[in-house]
């Protein structure tokens, strides 16, 4: 496994979230309803025939589970050497996702970006590169925090900052957990359509799914979006 050297101010910014390498424990349940990744297997038939790429994989255990599902799987992250200990059972590439991906057009059948785009500089660039490198008719799964959740509406009404990450971000001196952008469902749909990604389904995350499915914009603190790239 080769990570390469990516020293830059933004790499140091992202490395703060991953101070030590972690090992992959093969116990992540991709079929658990309410997880960020539930929509991946729920939306795809015969994943064993498809290629997949994940942006900012973060959790080696989840990446290991995905690598066993797809015909091929590659994980990208600027902090790859800090996240994954040597010997993880999947391909890892160190890559600064703020820049163009080192892949030709229409490389992957499936693109996955769970809780990463809000950390990147330019969501327009992120959606464009995801769409460019996904095959026509392919699947895209993107998880994002929702500014419109009832918690954030209450915070704003009280004159406080919305909180879309961990509660201890102030103590860590990591502004809103390193989140740089805020999202709503219409904005995410519009971003996808701008680059030929058609939103097909929303997947609420967490507990009380029956309530979140009734009014996602109000009750979902985060959502996983399923898109199909236009043919």
| Pairwise CA distance, residues 199 & 228, whole Å | 7
pLDDT the model gives residue 57: 78
Find the length of the chain: 231
CA distances (Å), origin 110, targets 7, 52, 53, 106:
29, 5, 6, 10
The bridge status of strand 197-204 relative to strand 108-114 is unpaired
pLDDT the model gives residue 123: 97
The Cα angle at residue 45 between residues 39 and 48, in degrees rounded to 5: 100
pLDDT the model gives residue 2: 46
pLDDT the model gives residue 67: 93
pLDDT in tens, the chain (231 residues): 444 445 566 666 666 655 555 555 557 899 999 999 999 999 999 999 999 999 987 778 888 899 999 999 999 988 777 666 556 788 888 899 999 999 999 999 999 999 999 999 999 999 999 999 999 999 999 999 999 999 999 999 999 988 888 788 888 787 877 888 999 999 999 999 999 999 999 999 999 999 999 999 999 999 999 999 997
pTM, two decimal places: 0.89
Radius of gyration of the chain (CA): 17
Give strand pairing partners of 73. 52
Q: DSSP code of 170?
A: T
Q: DSSP code of 94?
A: E
| Interacting residues of 160 by C-beta distance below 8 A, sequence separation 6+ | none
The bridge status of strand 222-229 relative to strand 91-94 is unpaired
pLDDT the model gives residue 16: 60
List domains and CATH numbers for the chain. 9-229 (3.40.50.150)
**Which residue shows structure tokens 């059948």?**
109
């Amino acid at each position: 496994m080769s990570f390469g050297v990516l020293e830059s101010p933004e790499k140091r910014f992202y490395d703060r979230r991953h101070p030590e390498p972690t090992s992959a424990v093969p116990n992540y349940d991709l079929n658990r309803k309410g997880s960020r990744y539930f929509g991946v297997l729920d939306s795809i038939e015969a994943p064993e025939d498809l290629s997949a790429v994940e942006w900012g994989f973060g959790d080696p255990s989840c990446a290991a589970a995905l690598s066993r599902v797809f015909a091929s799987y590659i994980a990208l992250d600027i902090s790859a050497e800090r996240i994954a200990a040597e010997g993880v059972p999947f391909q890892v590439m160190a890559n600064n996702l703020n820049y163009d991906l080192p892949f030709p057009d229409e490389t992957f059948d499936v693109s996955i970006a769970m809780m990463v785009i809000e950390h990147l500089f330019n969501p327009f660039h992120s959606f464009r590169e995801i769409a460019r490198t996904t095959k026509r008719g392919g699947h895209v799964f993107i998880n994002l925090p929702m500014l419109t959740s009832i918690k954030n509406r209450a915070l704003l009404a009280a004159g406080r900052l919305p909180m879309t990450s961990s509660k201890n971000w102030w103590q860590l001196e990591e502004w809103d957990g390193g989140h740089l952008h805020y999202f709503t469902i219409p904005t995410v749909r519009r971003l996808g359509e701008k680059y030929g990604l058609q939103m097909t389904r929303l997947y609420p995350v967490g507990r009380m799914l029956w309530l979140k499915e009734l009014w996602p914009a109000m009750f979902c603190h985060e959502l996983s979006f399923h898109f199909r790239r236009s043919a």
